[in-house]
Structure formats: C-alpha cells, structure tokens
Amino acid sequence: MTGVALVVGGGGLQGLPVLRAVRAMGWKAVVADTITDNINRFEADRYFVAPPVAHLSEFSEFLRDLIASEKIDAIFPTTMFDLPALAKLRPELEILGARVFASTTELVSVLEDKLLATEAATAAHLPTLPTIDPETHDFSFPLIGKPRRGWGGRDMVHAKDRAEYLEASANGAAEGYLWQRKIGSFQEWSVDFAIGEGGAVSEITKRLRVRASGGYAVISEVIEKGGPDQLAKATAQWLARNGALGLFNVQFLEENGNYWLTDINPRPGTSSVSALAAGSNLVTFLLEGRSAPSTGGYLIRTLRDTFIASGISGAKGVVFDLDETVIDQKSWMAAKLEIVIDDLSSELNDLSQFREIALQIIDEGPWDRLIDVALQRAGLPRSMSERMITAWRSAMPTGVAIHLDAQGLAEDLVRRGVPISILTDNPAASQKQKIGLLPSPWGQTHVILTDELASPKPATAGFELAASRLGMAPGDLVCIGDSPWRDAVGALRAGYRGAVIVQRAGSMHNPSKGLFNQRFPEFSSRVSWVPSLSGLGHLLVRENR
C-alpha cells in the first residue's frame, strides 16, 4: 500500500518524525507550514506555504484544495498550533477522503492545558505531582511553574523561596501557570506511541534523555525493558478510552524509583524519531495497523550541513542522469536476477547460494561481471554464462523503483514550468526498458542515450545534444547526477551553469569530494553535493519567484 501523507506544521523538528516515517513506508510526503524557508522542505517530496491556522476558514480551504490537488490520503498534525484546528476540521476533511490523525476536540482542549491535563490524569489514578498554590505554600521545598499552554521547557520559572515567587509573579507568572514541587535529582523518560482508530495502541518506545542542548535531546538511550513501562501503557490506554488518535509523546520523571507523569503531548515529540530509528514505525501502525517493538540502543543526533552553490539558481532547464539518480539501479538489477533464476529453476534444484552471491555483487560490485563472478563463486559451470547473460538482457521487470526525492523534484520543476531531460549511459536496450516504466512527468521528457551516440559521459556530445533538444543554451542548464566524474565534468565542460551530485546511502557510487576537487579545482565552486534532491526546486528557480 502506498499513498500521500500531508504533514501539517511539519517544517520544524516536530515534523521530522512523521516525515521520515512516511518516507520509510514508501509513501509520498507533503509538508505544509506557514514559514517559507525551513529545514523540512528539503526532506519533503512537496512543500506548500500554508495560511495561519488562526484564519480557520482560509486554512480549511487551503487543506481542501490540497487534498484534491495532491490526492492526500492521510493528514498528520505535528504542533500544538495546528492540532486544535485539525481536530475541529477533521469531520469535514475526512468526508473528502483524507484520514485525519487528530484526537477529539474535547480531549485536545484538555491536553493543551497543562493544569487540566494534570487534573484529568490525577483523576485517572495516574502518578502526577500534586498542584500547589504558591500563595499558601510555606516554601519548605522549591517550586517550578510551567505555562499552562506552553510546551517543552519554554518559559518555565523556578521559585526556591517566596521572594523568587514574588519576583516571578511580578513578571506575570502568577496566573496562567501550573505550579508543582520542583524535583531535584531525577532521570527523564520520554515515551512515544500511536493510538489508532478504534483505540488500538501501538508498541511503545521508551528512551532516557542522556544529553540535551537547549532542551533538545541530542543523545537518548532507547530502553527495551524496565522503566515506566506499565505506567506508560496505562497512560496510553486511558487516552485511548477518551478519544485519542494519532501520535503521542508522554514524559515521566523518575525520582528515587518513583515515576511522575509530567507531560502528555498529543503530537510527536521533537526527538521521537528514536522510535523509527529503533525499528518501530508508528505511522505504519496508524496507516496499516502493523506495529513492531523497538530495539534497545542509543540515538545520537547531530547537525548535517549541506551547501548548495548559488550558481544553480535561475536554471531554465534540468538534465537528469538516470541510474541511481532517478531510479534505484540495485533494485532493478535484483528484479532482473529473480527473473533469470526463475527461468533456470526447473533445471537446477538449488540456486540459493548463487542468489545470495549475486545479490552481494549487485550491492558491492563488480557490476560489469556480475554473472561470471557469481557463477564462479557459487561453483557453477562457466558454460551457463552465455545463457544467463542472454536471459538477463531479455528479462523485463514489471516495475522500476524510483527515488522519491527525484520524482518529487521532477514534478515540482514541471509544475514550475522548468523542462527536464534525461541523459544516460549504459546499453540502450536496457535503458529503454527502464524509461518505458517511468511515470509522469518522465514520459514527456527528451531522452538522450549515450550508447546510441557512441559518446559516453563525460564526453560533451550528449550534454550538448540535451541542450539542443531543450532549445536552450548550455549556460541555462543544470545537470543532476550521482557521478561527479561523469555527470559534473561532462556538464561543466559543455558549459552548463552548474551540477548537483546526489549521494544517497546505499547507492552504487560513493565518490570522494576531496579527491574530485583536487583533480578539478576549477569546478569545485560549481558542483553541489547533496544527500537528497528534495526541495531543490525551491533553489533552482529561486530568482524567478
């Protein structure tokens, strides 16, 4: 099952857990946020600037149009700004065919107020710290004040004595705050889970905050057994009985072996990507009802820097490489392998060893001698080589695996009026097989096969022909590929304005930026190295907005 998920308010860190979980399922991820420039537009397949939720009618119309135009199957809120609005709009949006994973308005109104949430949890016999009135408190122990409608660690105040409370009160913390005993020494537990339609609860992922920076967990330890396990499950069941739906994050403080429920967030936490990293995709549970337990370990989060040269802005056309840029070449080869093995299964009883060795070669190489090397390593006769190679060449998989970021970029470019083209090496017959299986908008593109030109990359002939077919000067074009040595060198020698090299984990090539720049220093400032093509259209045509 595949589909399209809309991540609302998904431009920041709270959108990442949903965005990545959706992409891990093979679904298309569309992000909507009020902020034009944000980190997640470079992870999403499509990005839209949304009106503020405060303008509810305009926001509702925006969502309706998006459901229709993008064929949205599921909608996920990610912040406490958009959650109340989506909870309210849920009935009318679901009539349009989009499942909205937001709790009932009644539950949201309780959980968005820390005081009401604490009182409700206390009434449900969950372990909460008692609320305290500072005006009558004797300050035999210090207090902590949390904004009733805040989240995270923002705007919390501390009062170790009456003087500090009066100072906080003078600054507006007397009203609109939840006051409780301040715990001195504790461990902080964060628990992630999902509650599906009908009240079903997923597996839970428990993590200890090991190191934090500015309230943001940069190192967490995922714990399989122990901790507030039963309390977390009891909290989830209580929420499920009271109209909960979607992704949840709850937090406990552990003090001398006692656990206190301190936060209930009816949305993903900023660090709840740990569930997916530990093997538990909570979005899969919501969409398909499947849930897997998480594996114990450490989640370490770092900043990853991507620099994209400004020279690519203003491109009037884009030329794509095919293998490992647009399609997953390894998946294509694996599909061909299965066809070949199936053809020979009636003659050979056991090809499991050959399959295993061939898959390893597909992953690691050598790709140009796949059949011969696999036969040799599996101890099979060399006489099978010619027949296998013939079968390989004629094998026609029924589908092709497309990299979602490339598909999203192509759709974005065509929608913006930027024409695209494909320039690809490798045998023409094989490339035509793949191209014939590509979905829109690739079918409307110009395709240049260097095999037919007898001029493989980095020769400039193919790049020059691509420019001619597009009716553009080379200086108006950008090339996107996976090999700087072939794609970038050929394009820049042909006079293209820039090149983008995508380096995805698990691809066939792992070029060295340092080695390339050492050989071609004149090209270093015109080649951008990126881990994903998502959101690139925003920069390619930025000057034309």
The vertex-112 CA angle with 109 and 116, nearest 5°, equals 75
Residue 334 confidence (pLDDT): 96
State the Rg of the chain over Cα.
Answer: 28
Residue 251 confidence (pLDDT): 94
Q: How far is CA 516 from CA 309, 487, 529, in A?
A: 16, 12, 11
Residue 419 confidence (pLDDT): 95
For helices 352-364 and 370-378, angle between their N-to-C axes, nearest 10 degrees: 140
The Cα–Cα gap between 375 and 504 comes to: 30
Output 87-91 pairs: Cβ under 8 A, ≥24 positions apart: 88/56, 89/56, 89/59, 89/60, 89/63
The Cα–Cα gap between 534 and 370 comes to: 32
Does residue 436 contact residue 443 with C-beta atoms inside 8 Å? no
Q: How far is CA 324 from the centre of its chain?
A: 19
The Cα–Cα gap between 78 and 82 comes to: 7
The Cα–Cα gap between 411 and 299 comes to: 34
Beta-bridge partners for 77: 8
What residues of the chain score a pLDDT lower than 50?
543-545
pLDDT in tens, 208-221: 988 887 767 889 99
Amino acid at 206: K
pLDDT in tens, 156-206: 888 898 988 888 887 766 678 899 999 988 999 999 999 999 999 999 999
The vertex-48 CA angle with 44 and 49, nearest 5°, equals 130
What pairing do the DSSP bridges indicate for beta strands 477-481 and 317-320? parallel
What pairing do the DSSP bridges indicate for beta strands 46-49 and 297-300? unpaired
Residue 545 confidence (pLDDT): 39
Question: Sign of dihedral through CA atoms 465, 466, 470, 473?
Answer: negative
DSSP string covering 122-190: HHTT---PPB--TTT---SS-EEEEETT--TTTT-EEESSHHHHHHHIIIIISSSEEEEEPPSS-EEEE
pLDDT in tens, 478-506: 999 999 999 999 999 999 999 999 999 99
In this prediction the pTM is: 0.88
What pairing do the DSSP bridges indicate for beta strands 498-502 and 527-530? parallel
Residue 543 confidence (pLDDT): 43
Amino acid at 498: G
Q: Which H/E stretch holds residue 218?
A: strand 216-223
Does residue 458 contact residue 485 with C-beta atoms inside 8 Å? yes
Dig out the tokens for 442 from the structure: 């690739």
Backbone dihedral region for residue 132 (phi beyond 0: left; psi -120 to 50: alpha; all else: beta): beta
The Cα–Cα gap between 334 and 357 comes to: 12
Does residue 325 contact residue 480 with C-beta atoms inside 8 Å? yes
Q: How far is CA 101 from CA 272, 282, 537, in A?
A: 17, 12, 29
Residue 70 confidence (pLDDT): 94
The vertex-108 CA angle with 107 and 110, nearest 5°, equals 65
Does residue 266 contact residue 83 with C-beta atoms inside 8 Å? yes
Nearest to 240 by CA among 288, 282, 195, 205: 195
Q: How many CB atoms lie within 10 A of CB 95?
A: 8
